[in-house]
């Protein structure tokens, strides 16, 4: 079973409105601090046991647990922004004006659903869009994971990226810190740029990469 992104829900009208007021004085909660380094020991046991699998063993187990890892880690981090309630939503249709945009990269794994060919890429791309609605005390983080085509089939179909749990933890820590920088007074919070070890044999093929096709693959990180 391959984890596929659920269809995006439409965000509440309040959050979607273009009239997002600029941050004048961010509310700094004394209990909130940036994520610095995440050692494996600090991960919850539910995530921990997934990390020691080699590339070859990953497939099924990882994809089945993927949604759990994304949402579990997000909840763990963003609960610290209480009383604001933050929500993580996958999307295929990025929002337009008034959203902060953060792009991050990771080592990811692909598996072709037609021929079974598997490959690893250091250029797994994720884009987050986030926005805090002060009036509603709620924030939204939308994200899109970019796919790649199978080089054997070249069938025009982008396979979904399978994300290693430690890479999910990394990028969620990074977006948590960017949110903190914008809304909670974090001063130059760290950005983790490490990758899971191992060098894929294959070169990055722009023809087969969805992020390349959208013109979003060139830099490893961006924030605006
Ligand atoms: Zn294939
Ligand atoms: Zn690319």
ipTM of the complex: 0.97
Which residue positions in the chain have pLDDT lower than 50?
1-28, 38-61
Predicted pLDDT at 85: 98
**Ligand 1 center to residue 209 CA distance, Å?**
14
Q: Pull the structure tokens for residue 59.
A: 């497939």
Predicted pLDDT at 63: 52
Phi then psi dihedrals of residue 67, to 5 deg:
-60, -40
Predicted pLDDT at 33: 78
Q: Which residues are placed with Cβ below 5 angstroms of ligand 1, an ion?
A: 112, 114-115, 117, 150, 152-153
Predicted pLDDT at 7: 37
CA distance 80 to 9: 24
Predicted pLDDT at 18: 37
Predicted pLDDT at 64: 56
Per the omega criterion (within 30 degrees of 0), is the bond before 83 cis? Answer: yes
Pick the ligand that lies closest to the CA of residue 150: 1
CA distance 15 to 26: 18
**Ligand 1 center to residue 107 CA distance, Å?**
20
**Ligand 1 center to residue 104 CA distance, Å?**
26
Predicted pLDDT at 201: 74
Predicted pLDDT at 36: 72
CA distance 174 to 35: 8
């Amino acid at each position: 079973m391959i984890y596929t992104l659920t269809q995006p829900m439409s965000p509440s009208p309040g959050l979607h409105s273009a009239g997002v007021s600029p941050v004048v004085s961010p509310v700094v909660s004394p209990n909130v601090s940036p994520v610095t380094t995440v050692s494996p020991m600090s991960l919850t046991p539910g995530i921990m046991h997934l990390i020691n699998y080699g590339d070859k063993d990953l497939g099924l187990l990882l994809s089945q647990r993927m949604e759990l890892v994304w949402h579990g880690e997000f909840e763990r981090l963003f609960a610290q922004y209480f009383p604001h309630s933050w929500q993580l939503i996958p999307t295929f249709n990025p929002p337009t004006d008034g959203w902060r945009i953060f792009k991050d990269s990771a080592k990811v794994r692909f598996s072709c659903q037609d021929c079974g060919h598997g490959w690893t890429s250091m250029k797994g791309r994720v884009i987050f869009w986030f926005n805090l609605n002060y009036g509603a005390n709620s924030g939204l983080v939308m994200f899109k994971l970019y796919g790649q085509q199978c080089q054997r089939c070249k069938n025009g179909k982008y396979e979904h990226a399978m994300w290693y749990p430690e890479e999910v933890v990394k990028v969620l820590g990074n977006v948590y810190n960017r949110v903190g920088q914008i809304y909670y007074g974090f001063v130059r919070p760290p950005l983790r740029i490490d990758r899971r070890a191992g060098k894929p044999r294959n070169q990055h093929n722009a023809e087969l990469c969805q992020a390349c096709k959208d013109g979003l693959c060139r830099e490893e990180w961006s924030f605006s």
